[in-house]
């Protein structure tokens, strides 16, 4: 078996806050192989984005990585390589599409220059070659009249266009892995379909892997082959996309699926229920004892309050963190 492109093991990120230590990412492990699309889903505050940022060592200030955390990408130890080597990987081999284009784009450079800059920093291409590549990529992400738009500044473009510029910057060098954090949320459905198609094309043509972070289970169903469900800083379920959608086991996964009309109808276990999960994700300074989902779980019993469930394998590629795996008779129907 070939080794995975990306291997994350026991990733832990914490912050010291006035309210105590926030364990925002708490022991996350997963792999991504070349050409694979893996989805990470969960509500805001579950640790998805911070997990993604950690892979590129872009943890917000004050964040602390536990020494046990490991992130290996193409054989490099991402958490300990020197900054210079890290910069060579970022943007070239592993790129990220950020959620907020306005904060990630430079307001005083034209968008064409910003895409061309990625090319210039990482390759030996001339200024004109880099510009031509930038314009071609801007056209591929659906920017009409790309040559003219390339000469404009971020504030002259709409939010959706800026998002496409960010996507062009991430994809222009055809990286081995792109981390896409809610990549299409700000885009209308036609452009969204075009971006997803571009990601698929790069996956097929160059074997690009995609780590797709989203709350949109429809996009996950369409794009991903494997899904990680995160709750309160932990992975609570991991499965191939078909198994997860047809037979979710964790009550949180069931809740997420039941909240999406088209998916609720497709799912066998959530058929007649269309609802939202009661309550909200607790703050990371106050994860409950035992199972972190217990305050919101309709199946919870005494054991769930005292005993933290481990992530256990239920099928070769299906892992679940819930006591119902050992005590299925506790499930309330
Ligand atoms: Fe619900 Fe208990 Fe399973 Fe947690 S361990 S998800 S509280 S049944």
pLDDT, one tens digit per residue, over 235-260 is 999 999 999 999 999 999 999 998 87
- pLDDT tens track for 163-176: 899 999 999 999 99
**For range 84-111, the mean pLDDT:** 88
Q: What is the pLDDT of residue 104?
A: 79
Pocket flag, ligand 1, residue 235 (CB < 6 Å): no
Per-residue burial over 158-196, b = 16 or more CB atoms within 10 Å of its CB, e = otherwise: eebbbbbbbbbbbbbbebbbbbbbbbbebbeeebbeebb
Ligand 1 atom closest to Cα of residue 301: 2
251 phi/psi in degrees, rounded to 5? -55, -30
Provide the mean pLDDT of the chain: 91
* Ligand 1 centroid from CA 44, angstroms: 20
**For range 95-99, the mean pLDDT:** 86
| The pLDDT of residue 64 is above 60 | yes
* Ligand 1 centroid from CA 279, angstroms: 15
Nearest to 91 by CA among 65, 45, 61, 58: 58
| The pLDDT of residue 302 is above 70 | yes
Ligand 1 atom closest to Cα of residue 292: 4
Per-residue burial over 103-131, b = 16 or more CB atoms within 10 Å of its CB, e = otherwise: ebbeeeebbbbbbbbbbbebeeeeeeebb
| The pLDDT of residue 53 is above 70 | yes
Taking every pair of Cα atoms in the chain, the longest distance, rounded to a whole number of angstroms, is 67
Pocket flag, ligand 1, residue 249 (CB < 6 Å): no
Q: What is the pLDDT of residue 103?
A: 72
Closest residue to atom 7 of ligand 1, CA basis: 294
* Ligand 1 centroid from CA 294, angstroms: 6
Identify which of 256, 305, 309 to mutate to test ligand 1's pocket (most ligand atoms within 8 A of the CB).
309
**228 has which bridge partners?**
40, 238
Ligand 1 atom closest to Cα of residue 250: 6
Nearest to 102 by CA among 57, 160, 182: 160
| The pLDDT of residue 128 is above 90 | yes
* Ligand 1 centroid from CA 329, angstroms: 13
- pLDDT tens track for 18-41: 999 999 999 999 999 999 999 999
């Amino acid at each position: 078996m070939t080794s995975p492109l990306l291997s994350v093991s026991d990733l832990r990120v914490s912050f010291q806050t006035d309210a105590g230590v926030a364990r925002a990412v708490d022991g996350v492990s997963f792999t991504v192989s070349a050409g694979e699309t893996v989805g990470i889903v969960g509500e805001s505050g579950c640790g998805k984005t911070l997990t993604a940022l950690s892979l590129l060592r872009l943890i917000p200030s004050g964040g602390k990585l536990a020494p046990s955390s490991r992130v290996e990408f193409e054989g490099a130890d991402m958490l300990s390589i020197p900054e210079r080597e890290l910069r060579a990987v970022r943007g070239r081999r592993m790129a990220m599409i950020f959620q907020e284009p306005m904060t990630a784009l430079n307001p005083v450079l034209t968008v064409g220059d910003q895409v061309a800059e990625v090319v210039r920093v990482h390759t030996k291409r001339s200024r004109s070659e880099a510009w031509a590549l930038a314009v071609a990529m801007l056209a591929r992400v659906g920017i009409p009249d790309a040559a003219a738009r390339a000469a404009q500044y971020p504030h002259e473009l709409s939010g959706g266009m800026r998002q496409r510029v960010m996507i062009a910057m991430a994809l222009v060098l055809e990286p081995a892995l792109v981390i896409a954090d809610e990549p299409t949320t700000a885009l209308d459905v036609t452009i969204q379909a075009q971006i997803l198609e571009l990601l698929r094309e790069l996956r097929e043509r160059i074997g690009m892997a995609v780590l797709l972070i989203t709350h949109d289970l429809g996009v996950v169903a369409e794009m991903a082959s494997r899904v990680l469900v995160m709750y309160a800083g932990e992975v609570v379920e991991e499965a191939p996309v078909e198994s997860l959608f047809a037979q979710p086991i964790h009550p949180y996964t069931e809740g997420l699926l039941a909240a999406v009309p088209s998916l609720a109808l497709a799912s066998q276990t959530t058929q007649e229920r269309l609802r939202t999960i009661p309550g909200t994700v607790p703050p990371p300074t106050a994860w409950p004892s035992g199972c972190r989902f217990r305050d919101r779980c309709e199946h919870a019993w005494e054991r769930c309050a005292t005993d933290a469930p481990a992530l256990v394998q239920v099928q070769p590629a299906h892992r679940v963190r819930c006591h119902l795996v050992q005590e299925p008779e506790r499930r309330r129907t």
